[in-house]
Structure 1
Amino acid sequence: MKAKNQNIGLKSFLDKLEKYKEDNIIFLEILNTTEQYLGEYFREDKLQAETFFAGLNIINSCKQEL
């Protein structure tokens, strides 16, 4: 359960992604790397499903903006 409590830092990072997408300063490479990171953590059961899917939604939204 301790590992899942680390989601606070990840949630903060995802919130920042949401803010910056409007400024078009997020690069596709960063988004792809973040998407891989989320997938790995989710598969290792270190990430709650709601955070995983919220992260994917933000990433996909950012990709559409690019």
Structure 2
Amino acid sequence: FPEKWRWVLWLNPMTAPVTGYQAILLQGDWPALSVWVVTGIWTLLLALALGVVVPRCRDQLVDWL
């Protein structure tokens, strides 16, 4: 992937966990701190989004499932 556009990859929430798994399984090393930070940020953002969406849709969740 071109270095100029590499930042776009980090907009995908799965990039950090996959990069972390690659570091552990393929390189035999711990992931870089940036991978941990991005994973934590995405986890926090998704948890906050669920905290907003689930209470609003609680009545309809049973029908959707």
TM-score of the pair, normalised by structure 1? 0.37
Larger gyration radius, structure 1 or structure 2: 2
Higher-helix-fraction structure: 1
TM-score of the pair, normalised by structure 2? 0.37
Structure with larger RCO (C-alpha < 8 A, sep 6+): 1
